[in-house]
Amino acid sequence: MTRDITTRILHADRLGPVEHGAVLKPLHIATAYGYGTAEELTAVFQGQQSGHVYGRQGNPTTAALETKISLMEDAVGTVCFATGMAAICSTMMALLKQGDHVVASQYLFGNTASWMNTLTQLGCEVSLVDATDAANVRQALRPNTRMVFVETVANPRTQVADLAGIGKLCTEREVLYIVDSTMSTPALFQPKAVGASLVLHSLSKSICGHGNALGGSISDTGLFDWSKYPHLLPAYRKGPAPGWGLLQIRKKGLRDMGATLSSEHGHRIAAGAETLPLRMARACDNARALAQWLQAQPLVSKVHYPGLASHAQHARAKELFKDFGALLAFETVEGVDPFDVLNALELVIKSSHLGDNRTLAIPVARTIFWEMGAEQRESMDIADSLIRVSVGIEAQADLLDDFKQAFEKLSRK
């Protein structure tokens, strides 16, 4: 019997050994772990006995969060990192070599797009394609393609990748398929259902939700046959093959690169995760209502939200996701400065973060997508007037009222 996701999250900490009867995993801050005998210490070091040795590679609090994320994603294992970007970079550095080829969506989180540039400097080839159609990914595949990387719902324009089509293709070609599911969260979607090999999260966003911790994670769905992956070191080809990839990511990516999640942040993320499905349900309701309201405004030219029938991938989103998410973006008509819209909002906070309990909005082209320049913005379909809204869990009437008063102010101008 598979229990509901909230039930699984809430009771995850008592699946393993329970300390002092604690109903949740305590916060462990020790840097190092000591053992009674040299034999025991050696056994933990060599992986013959479970345990922790040094905090850079993990601690009991982070391990409990990793278990929680594995349960949410129906994964065989998870490794946490200090941030979502650390999870992305460390995973790729642990698995790629010079001369490898990566296919990624051209609609990527800005810093991930920037990281793809760095990868090319390190001697990897990167093809950025329109991943809303798996045919584009198929065309880009080469004999040296090691991985395909996509986001479920692209930030900020909300394009929905052809997740199932790409999954089928990667399975056929035995190519590693990495899905950044930050925007969907396990409350709405499990990438394992479409054949993802690895699932990535920025835990800083909705999974934490309270805007008080940074973190990232990579989970192995168990679907990829690591015995076919050419760059796994013999030291990590130990035990059953489903564990090999993650072991190399933990050793080469986490231990050697050192972007470790602090246990305090892990503890806060774990607390936030307990209410993820509740918060997402409310935020999705708010986002849908706001998207519909914005669509009817004469000063708004376009609204991008997968829950709207006008969205290019609405049918796909409906089929794949439990709900349409908490992120939307809109463009203003000629002559309406997006700064005036933002400055007229009183409740909504002007901020670059997303997936927060509070509603946050940002003018995209002049902030988070500024550094990449006009040409790349155009290729990513980022209009100059685009405003991204990360919808929170405020009472819906208060949120809509704030937008109403803002647009009233603007139309009086």
Ligand X SMILES: *Cc1c(COP(=O)(O)O)cnc(C)c1O
Q: Which residues bind ligand X (CB under 6 A)?
A: 83-85, 109, 112, 151, 155, 180, 182-183, 202, 204-205, 214, 216
- Distance in Å, CB of 155 to ligand X, minimum: 5
Query: Residue 369 Cβ, how far from ligand X at the closest point, in Å?
Result: 13
- In angstroms, rounded to a whole number, what is the distance separating the alpha carbons of residues 325 and 333? 25
Chain-centroid distance of CA 153 in Å reads 10
Q: At residue 70, what are phi and psi to the nearest 5 degrees? A: -60, -40
* Shortest distance (Å) from residue 281 CB to ligand X: 20
Nearest-angstrom CA–CA distance, 366 and 303: 19
Q: How far is the CB of 327 from ligand X (least distance, A)?
A: 9
- What is the H or E stretch that residue 145 is in? strand 145-151
How far is 37 from 92, CA to CA, in rounded Å?
Answer: 37
Q: CA 355 to CA 392: how far, in whole Å?
A: 7
Q: What angle do CA 304, 306, 312 make, to 5 degrees?
A: 75
Complex with ligand X: residue 190 or 204, whichever CB lies closer: 204
Query: In the complex, which residue's CB is closest to ligand X?
Result: 84
Least distance (Å) between residue 367 CB and ligand X: 14
Q: Which residues contact 117 (CB under 8 A, 6 or more apart)?
A: 126
If the CB atoms of residues 252 and 265 are measured against ligand X, the closer one turns out to be 265
**Residue among 181 and 248 whose Cβ is closer to ligand X:** 181
| CA angle at 134 for the pair 128 and 138, rounded to the nearest 5° | 70
For residues 113 and 383, which CB has a smaller minimum distance to ligand X in the complex?
Answer: 113
Amino acid (1-letter code) at residue 232: L
Residue 210 tokens, joined: 């309270």
What is the sign of the dihedral through the CA atoms of 158, 126, 110 and 333? negative
**Nearest distance from C-beta of residue 136 to ligand X, angstroms:** 20
Question: Of 146 and 205, which has the nearer Cβ to ligand X?
Answer: 205
CB 93 within 8 A of CB 231: no
CA 35 to each of CA 61, 256, 298: distance values in angstroms, whole numbers, following the listed order: 19, 23, 69
Nearest distance, CB of residue 29 and ligand X, angstroms: 21
Tokens in use for 173?
């070609």
Beta-bridge partners for 99: none
CA-to-CA dists, residue 248 to 148, 243, 274, angstroms: 19, 9, 29
Q: Are 33 and 65 in contact (CB under 8 A)?
A: no
Closer by beta carbon to ligand X, 162 or else 180: 180
Q: How far is the CB of 23 from ligand X (least distance, A)?
A: 28
Q: CB of 362: closest distance to ligand X in angstroms?
A: 12
Nearest CB to ligand X, comparing residues 109 and 403 = 109
Task: Compute the distance between CA of residue 226 and CA of residue 210 in angstroms, rounded to an integer.
Answer: 36
How far is it, in rounded angstroms, from Cα 394 to Cα 359? Answer: 7
Instruction: Estimate the share of the chain in helix, then strand, then coil, as percent rounded to the nearest 5.
Output: 40, 15, 45
Select 216 or 277, whichever has its Cβ closest to ligand X: 216
> Residue 294 and residue 171: Cα distance in Å, rounded?
40
Which of residues 88 and 232 has its CB atom nearest to ligand X in the complex? 88
Least distance from C-beta 86 to ligand X, angstroms? 7
Whichever of 83 and 332 has its CB closer to ligand X, that residue is 83
